[in-house]
Structure 1
């Protein structure tokens, strides 16, 4: 039975049909990511003087860590929404926005490392222009979500009498959905360009090519799945089952990118260690740059 929310918690949900298994898996998976990313971050700091060329990793680690670390209390808060002292929905929504923004930035930073490889292979001199473009794109998405967060923090009305959220809340959802679709397109476009470049250095059956294709498919699919979930009611005119929505919009799109990017970082770190052990300072191998 759903308990009545205290008067000061105007945003308390009346109930949510998310299964205990979904909530438990989500929280546990994010805990594993947090521990792994934290360990890798410490290892990178210990070898900072040897890994200066991999500074982009620190941005990836930081944003992935923020996403996973905040997802843990988010899943926990969703587990207690049936209690009398349920967390206010505004707190859950704000944590959700911050997590999505951090994951978006993490994937954006990761894609930029692909561009570095393309630039290196094509000897393209427009790296500065690409950095500015991505900086502007990330800033626009971040600013829009921050504005929406601030508005939500001071929005005392919450849902209207029909149970619908305020217009700006829906704008925030649209921004997130647009960011997911944009991320998916970037993965496909940049990934395709890089794939054709790598074919000149590796065979199609090589571990590098297969790994790169697998990572590209996983990340683009996760972004596309979240986009479809967020826009499902617009595209179909119907609302998705609550538990199905939790799995398709949060569980899978959070776990796949977080784990995939973390595993890639672990692989790159091990590759760098082996490279230093072999003392191949003049090696032209580009595999370590697939960050």
Structure 2
């Protein structure tokens, strides 16, 4: 019986040639794209082109002059890492299908819109270099449609988050009312049980009104406090319009875990307190 090893010298030579060609082609493509946008390193172009030519010759020698078309296609796909070729978007799609939620569906569609914008920009650039005016016009039309779709999805996500917040606020108020009513009934029952029987000639005494029960999970009033402006990145990430919405959202998540709400001293009125609220909100959402 003869055992064939997967790590024969020929296999190792082919894998090394494939990796070398892939890295050379990707480095050349990255520099070319950056040169087209006014950056990059034009003085490195000739060296990188020579590296690609050398790597291609070694690849053809190792693979017996088979065309590296599939390899070039994988290497120039920006959505796949190199050399493992793992696609992060595929994992996100699988996770979404196993646990679908409305906000995750919108985030997935926004990701597709951003991909369409990237592809449209590449189509415009290639068509302009080739002098194809019709293809350039089609690419500009695709870019406008993708931008419009992304903005529409952003508004849908913002409306959905606002609806979730209003629903949570209403449930929060109803829960507070039930807690206070139960506490008042219990206090009244205990007060009546401790009352002494009155004499026949004296009217019954009126029990004192019990003090309202203080809910430690009730958030303080933020009225009159200064509210710092939200950066666009945070506004898009959480789909909210102001820092006050972030604070109220964090209080709702904390209440579900029986954690005290955000005090007035940590309200996002400065950049530092805003960073703290964003950090806590990300932590609560991850749980």
TM-score by length of 2: 0.35
Q: Which has the higher contact order (CA 8 A, sep 6+)?
A: 1
Higher helix residue share: 1
TM-score by length of 1: 0.35
CA radius of gyration, larger in: 2
